[in-house]
Structure 1
Amino acid sequence: MSQGNRLEKTNRINLLFAFYEPLLTDKQQTFLKYYFHDDFSLGEIAAEFEISRQAVYEHIKRAEQVLENYETKLGLLSKHETRTMYFGELRRIRNEAALPESYGQRLNEIVDSLENLE
């Protein structure tokens, strides 16, 4: 796996983890945190928990699958990314449009309120 793909995968797993962490088992949470967030190697995790590297690998792969399954069913990350895109578009339109100041301020308030709902 190239460095760019690994970084993309790490970022995706970290984002999925942010949404679905409470739905994972304690062990899945711990292994994903160590591997993707704290950048521990499989060997370091294996030594910490006194299990084989292969066992760590399998736990991490299974946890990744669980995260992807939650995303397939619930789509929280996808919805978040779509909302973020639309918020950016609203802000761009506000900045580029010749709106009266009161409309621009109200648009800002609405976008801020919507963002705070997340």
Structure 2
Amino acid sequence: MLEKTTELNLLYDFYGSLLTEKQRALLELYYHEDWSLGEIAEHQGVSRQAVFEALKRAQTTLGDLEEKLGLLRKHLMRQKLAEEIESRLNRHPEARDAVGPLVRRLADLD
């Protein structure tokens, strides 16, 4: 399975626009900018505990959205299938030349 930070970054990519502006800002500072809870708290003028709780709520929201919509799960399944198709195509150069670009375009749709 994916590392927790990687998974949260992917969930953010898929569902970030559905979060509140405050949730997006907190997640970006913590996961993208690598700020500590203390730094975020000082910047926001709130307690470290408030930042921790807000981050937890945002992570829960991302998890709930994934559970309902499954965009990340489907994305990972498409990637895995595309890799398997490309692997099989490598045994058939004539087919690889014809179909390979289409498989790559399909994998890049997300």
Separation in 1 of the partners of 2:93 and 2:63? 45
In structure 2, the residue matched to 1:94 is 89
Residues 86 and 96, structure 2, Cα contact 8 Å, conserved in 1: no
TM-score, scaled to structure 2: 0.92
How far 1:100 sits from its partner (Å)?
Answer: 5.6
Higher-Rg structure is 1
Which of these residues, 35, 42, 65, is aligned with residue 40 of structure 1?
Answer: 35
Q: What letter is aligned with 1:47? A: E
Separation in 1 of the partners of 2:93 and 2:84? 18
Structure 1 unaligned residues grouped into runs of 5+? 1-6
Structure 2 unaligned residues grouped into runs of 5+? none
Give the superposed CA RMSD.
1.4
In structure 1, the residue matched to 2:51 is 56
TM-score, scaled to structure 1: 0.86
Residue 104 (1) aligns with residue 102 (2): no
Runs (4 or more) in structure 1 with deviation over 4 Å come to none
Residue 68 (1) aligns with residue 63 (2): yes
